Amino acid sequence: MPPYGPTPGGEAATIEYAVKVLGVNDVIICGHSHCGAMDALLHPEDLDGMEAVKGWLKHADETLKIIDGNYQHITELQPRLTATVEENVLVQLEHLRTHPSVAEAVSRGDLKLHGWTYQFESGQVFNYDPKEGQFVAIQRSGPVPRFEFENIQAI
């Protein structure tokens, strides 16, 4: 999610339409385990010859700065990738808050923003809890629901 800027793109138009016309009440930024984009952020040398992907990942530059500045102690690949995914969800939420339609709706209490991560291995979803300062498992009862792509609406 790019921050709002002088030249709004498709993402800004989509968010504005969703908030102002469709009356969306909740927006979820969801990262996931084994994210190839976040792995590429950590290993930019793997992106040689992929200028469009490099450009798209510029929206996560802040994430990389946070990881490099605060997570030097995590050197193992998988835990470092998990931290990157989680931090990126938070950075993208901050970018979303820069959009005027989002800021207005949040300040009125008409819109809630959520940061989630999804773990493919377990089907577990984690929600960022600002009071805890971390992602915590969302408790559910019953079996893990199966989602069919035809039933998911994404914007």
SS3 for 71-132, per residue? CCCCCCHHHHHHHHHHHHHHHHHHHHHCCHHHHHHHHHCCCEEEEEEEECCCCEEEEEECCC
Segment 128-149 shows an average pLDDT of: 77
- Does residue 18 have a pLDDT over 80? yes
Segment 53-62 shows an average pLDDT of: 90
pLDDT of residue 83: 97
Residue 89 and residue 115 in contact, taking contact as beta carbons nearer than 8 Å: yes
Q: What angle do CA 66, 9, 89 make, to 5 degrees?
A: 30
Instruction: Name the pTM for this structure.
Output: 0.85
Cα separation, 9 vs 111, whole angstroms: 21
- Does residue 50 have a pLDDT over 80? yes
Domains, the chain: 10-139 (3.40.1050.10)
pLDDT digits over 68-127, tens only? 999 999 999 999 999 999 999 999 999 999 999 999 999 999 999 999 999 988 889 999
pLDDT of residue 137: 93
- Does residue 153 have a pLDDT over 50? no
What's the chain's average pLDDT? Answer: 89
Segment 29-33 shows an average pLDDT of: 95
